Structure 1
């Protein structure tokens, strides 16, 4: 039986190793898109505080997500405009659901 070794780079050091099938087939990490706001936990949308097209400032509350008997306020991560709202008030959503899409303010 021939053993196949792969080159693996970790912290600037190159290793020769066998990679498991689980590692080869894993979902690759992608940098999150800062304009797409997703739920980090499952819950219920209690209240939506903004409307599409509305301009918001960094820290403004966009919506309230109730999870584990707690009301979690989703704040704007940067100043911008609400491009699209993908959820409705009262909706039960799973983890990872796209809730709001933002865009930068247009330069004047």
Structure 2
């Protein structure tokens, strides 16, 4: 469970927003949220790639590696859906607020 929580640790907007004048850093909190999600998804993709590299070409795959690859792939799917939903929801809310001003 600690790994799951730690995996979402990159979503700290406060740390992402610091140094917004740097070209590599986003300038608004909405951009910071998208940037943080991107970093989190990139880290998950690295985990999946590392597990995929452990799968042998000769068919001598360990069931434990296959199970972990499946689990991490499903986690990536969950995270990608969560990212899409959160960015879309916040974007729509900002659009609504902009129309009311």
Q: TM-score range by the shorter chain?
A: under 0.3
Q: Flag the structure with higher helix content.
A: 2
When the two structures are superposed, what TM-score results if normalisation uses the length of structure 2?
Answer: 0.20
Q: Flag the structure with higher strand content.
A: 1
When the two structures are superposed, what TM-score results if normalisation uses the length of structure 1?
Answer: 0.20
